[in-house]
Structure 1
Amino acid sequence: MLTKAPHLFDDATRVTAGDSRWQGRTSDDYWAFVGPFGGATAATILRALIDHPERSGTPLALTVNYCAPIAAGAFDLDLRLVKANRSSQHWCVELTQDGGEVATLATAVFAERRPSWSHQPATFPQATPFEQIRPYPKIKAVWANQYDFRFIEGHPDLAGATPQAGPASAYSKVWIGDRIPRTIDMLSLMSMSDAFFARIFHVRREFVPFGTVSLTTYFHVDADDLAAENTSRVLAVADARIFNKSYGDQNGELWSPNGRLLATTTQIAYFKA
């Protein structure tokens, strides 16, 4: 049953409009190892853009560069419309704290998505139904405990119960929903595009120091399309191609249970191992 009360995710991504800058605040409920969960930060930035009075169109792409650690507490968002035409808008967002240096730098594209010819060559991944899989247990990363992960393939054995002779697979297929169910919208879709466990955790079967450096998410539906799906979960697949000299990539897809590709995402991340 979907909750009618204010959701923790909505509290975590709340923004307040200002004269020249918008304000947000980190959430203890979406805290990672040394800072806020990057997906929640990205969703907060997207919320500010969607709420901006000059915004036109629907999210098409959002790139977030995590430049420096974000401390617990308030932060400012400086939103700037860089370029606009009849079909698209290009935005730049800087996240700062205490009037200091930029901690997060984002660029976003909004577009007027008009009816057109459509074709989806990508194939919906076959998956065991959500209800037939046990939830992944809670872990020490607080943000992850706000989500209901149900792994179909690539179950991460982070307890080290299954010794590996060598690196394990980086691939995973998992249902993701909010632990307190919430209908998927553009904000939660953005956040869930960063909710995959780090590929390095899958490959090494252990927690290692890790942090996303740059994340880009492409949206293949608009808000009306997403509302029509009326779902509280996505089927998410992710993989990696390389780990080299302290950095590794990740690419992912997020699908509706009805077989619609909602978003694709890619990122580069730091690790220490």
Structure 2
Amino acid sequence: MHAKSQHLFDDATRITAGDSRWQGRTSPDYWAFVGPFGGFTAATILRALMEHPQVAGDPLAVTVNYCAPIAEGAFDLDLRLVKANRSSQHWYVELSQEGREPATLATAVFAERRPSWSQAQVTMPEAQPFEKIRRYPDVAASWTRQYDFRFVEGLVDMAAGVELQQPGSAFSKLWIGDRVPRKIDALSLLAMSDAFFARIFHVKGEIVPIGTVSLTTHFHADAEDLSREDITHVLGVADAKIFHKSYGDQNGELWSPSGRLLATTTQMTYFKA
């Protein structure tokens, strides 16, 4: 049995090492409507990779495809190093339960990031400071209660449950942090990249059945960069371009309060409306 760590996120995403097959467990604290919060699943997979003895470098890109529901309880992670060279590694992960077909498939690229010429083509969106914005109230899903959401723009009233007469904007801008503050690292960045409320909730003004099908997150800061930032919350912006024949897209950015772009993310979601 593992001793409790100081933060719930680390306890929930804890994994047990094996040879090629590692094990994790779902957490009631990071549960969505019919299964685990997708960001929790992605972060647990990334933790297993980051703790693998063969891993080298920092996460550069992670793609997670959610193939089937994950039931409450233990799950297995089959980790495979597919290709490695001097500067990067390519990993493949299958998540399954009780020997059944995989419920989640993931790929990840790790890279040794070396000093180079740098230039940012985008600047951080303007936003009121985190401390000056009221925290968003709790909603039904337990995973949302583990986060501190503070909307700068694009607030959605998830409790109203009344469909808008005209489609609303899919854009939102908000500060995101762990409810119990935790220093931002690659694991929390990946989880937070899936923490935006579904874009269709904003557009329709009501909660409809949805599920993430595929999530890709690109990291623009390594462990040294994140340690230097020394932050516990990020500014997130998210938007969508189209909802069509039961699927919709989402794109997002995660910024440090100092104005550094830490991660970008895209995803496709299924919806029933």
Q: TM-score, with normalisation over the residues of structure 1?
A: 0.97
* Aligned-partner Cα distance in 2 for 1:26–1:164: 35
Q: Secondary structure of 1:128's match? A: coil
Contact 1:60 1:111 in 2 (8 A): yes
> Is 1:259 aligned to 2:259, yes or no?
yes
Between the two proteins, the alignment pairs up a number of residues equal to 270
Tell me which amino acid in the other structure corresponds to 2:80.
R
Give a deviation string over 1:30-88, Cα, whole Å, max 9, x none. Answer: 00000000001000000000000000111000000000000000000000000000010
Kept after mapping to 2: 8 A contact 1:88/1:112 = yes
Q: Is the 8 A contact 1:159 1:205 kept in 2?
A: no
Residues 1:182 and 2:147 aligned together:
no
Partner secondary structure for residue 134 of structure 1: coil
Q: Deviations over 1:63-122 (max 9, x none)?
A: 000000000000000000000000100000000000111000000000010000000111
Give, as a single letter, the amino acid of the residue that structure 1 aligns with 2:60.
L
Alpha-carbon contact 1:12-1:26 (below 8 Å) kept: yes
Structure 2 CA distance, aligned partners of 1:162 and 1:150? 22
What corresponds to 2:93 in structure 1? 93
Compute the displacement of 1:19 (Å).
2.4
The verdict on how the C-alpha distance between 1:201 and 1:63 changes in structure 2, with shifts beyond 3 A counting, is same
Q: Is the counterpart of residue 41 in structure 1 residue 64 in structure 2?
A: no
* Partner SS for 1:102: coil
TM-score (norm 2): 0.97
Instruction: Give 1:62's aligned residue.
Output: 62
Q: In the TM superposition, what is the alpha-carbon distance from 1:162 to its structure 2 partner?
A: 7.5
Show structure 2 runs of 5+ residues with no match: none
SS at match of 1:152: strand
Q: Which structure 1 segments of 5+ residues have no match?
A: none
Secondary structure of 2:46's aligned partner: helix
Aligned Cα RMSD in Å?
A: 1.2
Give how far 1:5 is off. 5.7
Q: Does the residue aligned with 1:76 lie in a helix, a strand or coil?
A: strand
Partners of 1:182 and 1:55 in 2: how far apart? Answer: 24
Is 2:162–2:206's contact at 8 Å kept on the other side of the alignment?
Answer: no
